[in-house]
Amino acid sequence: MKMKPSPSAYIEHYVSARLHDLETADNYIEHTHMGDPELDPVMEEISTLPSEDLHKFIGAGIEQQTEVLGTAPQALREIFDHINEPPAWLDYEAFNPAIQAFYTKATDILLAMVTGVLTEGFSTLMSKPFSITGRMLQETDTSIRQLKQVNRHLLEIFFPGGLLRKGDGWKLSVRIRFIHARVRQLMKSSREWNTEAWGMPISAAHMGFSTALFSYRLLEHSTAVGANYSQDEKDSIFELWRYVGHLMGVPETILYTTPQEARKLFKIGFKCEPPPDADAAAISNTLIQSIPLVAGLTDPDEQDSMRDLAYRISRALIGNHLADQLRFPRGSSSGVLYMYRAKQLSLRLTKDVQLIKSENFLQLLNASQYDEVGMSYKMPDHVLASKSCEW
């Protein structure tokens, strides 16, 4: 089958990426035209459902409320039958080392996630949907809520049993899959989205890239800020994120199967992406600016101090070239990782492992979004966050 032409924004860097790995680059670009090939057609078929019914049926499917789901359209019932079926390669026991590692290294992992992983992610065209919807522009309640939702998802997927069918990590991952499908639906009909230039909103390429980013790159960045992993822990983190990617609808054709594939997907996918533009810079700066607010700091001096440290650590992790492209404040990052690692090591030496786990768990809870009504299955009903219902 003849491959579709590359979206125009990718062409220059795609040509260069093919010189490094033709097969991976071609596969990446092919998936920029694709969303969720299983769920997207279902969402189109049920697009005329009233919002209240849509939220009710999605919630019923995720919460296994069989009587309610039994009254849903057939297409929705069938997709949940498919989602409920675990892949043949799934091994829950393989997640245990990752879970143990997470709660002893949560501080390093959270820092690496925000200042390294998410920043690199938003430097790509992954930033476009966030920019258009307005969910990550300036330090608004919406952007803070978005970051706290990311933290909660991280907490739940690494919680013991969180990825079992009844676990909140499983439920949140599938909820995100439905939200992505709904946003794609809204975005494609919006005049703001340029399909010719950017391909599919929240594309399969970006979803596959994200799983590599959250596994391979998270391990690299968290190690850089002080985390130490055994080989079993590293392998386990790759297995966990592979399954999370599956739950979130990443097609098998771009979902890594080994750590080596994850590394290759990140490296080549990143080479295919165009340089960061003004939207990427705005989203990335909002991310850093929001850190002290998510952490609950209220003193302006303390907020400024934390932002300064976050910018310096981010620059050290992602490199000066990308930091300059993202318009981060100029400043020296020399020695900042060494000083941070030394401080964290001194704290670890004065505390036992169980206390560290307890403190990290409380830190995660405080920085996560938990709604009073429990888990919400509302879907966005407008492409602009300012005009959409809260979800």
Chain segment 336-359, per-residue pLDDT in tens: 887 777 766 555 545 554 544 444
**Which DSSP symbol is given to 10?**
G
Q: How does pLDDT run across 54-107, given as a tens digit for each residue?
A: 999 999 999 999 999 999 999 999 999 999 999 999 999 999 999 999 988 988
170, amino acid identity? W
What pLDDT does 190 receive? 85
Q: Are 45 and 75 in contact (CB under 8 A)?
A: yes
- Give dist(CA 385, CA 391) in Å, integer: 10
- Give dist(CA 108, CA 130) in Å, integer: 26
Q: Over its length of 391 residues, how does the chain's per-residue pLDDT go in tens digits?
A: 577 899 999 999 999 999 999 999 999 999 999 999 999 999 999 999 999 999 999 999 999 999 999 999 999 999 999 999 999 999 999 999 999 999 889 889 999 999 999 999 999 999 999 999 887 665 566 677 778 888 889 999 999 999 999 999 999 999 999 999 999 999 988 889 999 999 999 999 999 999 999 999 999 999 999 999 999 999 999 999 999 999 999 999 999 999 999 999 999 999 999 999 999 999 999 999 988 888 788 899 998 998 999 999 999 999 999 999 999 998 767 678 877 777 665 555 455 545 444 444 445 445 444 444 457 888 888 888 777 777 6
Between the CA of residue 142 and those of 94, 136, 147, 284, what are the distances in Å?
35, 7, 9, 15
Q: Cα–chain-centroid distance for residue 53? A: 27
Helix (DSSP H) and strand (DSSP E) numbers for the chain = 22, 0
What pLDDT does 357 receive? 45
Q: How does pLDDT run across 92-124, given as a tens digit for each residue?
A: 999 999 999 998 898 899 999 999 999 999 999
Q: Is 91 exposed, middle or buried (0-12, 13-18, 19+ CB in 10 A)?
A: exposed
Tokens of 15: 């040509």
Q: On the CB side of 142, how many CA atoms lie within 13 Å of its CA?
A: 18
Quickly list DSSP for 194-225: -HHHH-STT-HHHHHHHHHIIIIIHHHHHHHT
Between the CA of residue 191 and those of 52, 81, 186, 188, 312, what are the distances in Å?
26, 35, 10, 8, 37
What pLDDT does 137 receive? 63
Buried b (16+ CB within 10 A) or exposed e, 345-374: eeeeeeeeeeebbeebeebbeebbeeeeee
- Give dist(CA 273, CA 14) in Å, integer: 7
Nearest of 102, 17, 22, 131 to residue 357 by alpha carbon: 102
Tokens of 93: 């026991």
Nearest of 88, 69, 67, 91 to residue 78 by alpha carbon: 69
Q: Taking every pair of C-alpha atoms in the chain, what is the biggest distance, in angstroms?
A: 61
- Give dist(CA 111, CA 101) in Å, integer: 15
Q: Is 36 exposed, middle or buried (0-12, 13-18, 19+ CB in 10 A)?
A: buried
Tokens of 3: 């491959």
Percent of the chain that is helix, strand, coil (3-state, to 5): 65, 0, 35
What pLDDT does 38 receive? 98
- Give dist(CA 331, CA 342) in Å, integer: 21
- Give dist(CA 358, CA 233) in Å, integer: 20
**Which DSSP symbol is given to 86?**
-
- Give dist(CA 233, CA 219) in Å, integer: 10
Between the CA of residue 81 and those of 14, 61, 75, 251, what are the distances in Å?
38, 9, 10, 17
Tokens of 51: 């919002």
Tokens of 122: 């938003």
48, amino acid identity? T
Query: What does pTM read for this prediction?
Result: 0.91
Helix 11-20 with 259-272: angle, nearest 10 deg: 140
- Give dist(CA 356, CA 292) in Å, integer: 21
Q: Are 185 and 260 in contact (CB under 8 A)?
A: no
Neighbouring residues of 372: CB distance < 8 A, sequence distance ≥ 6: none
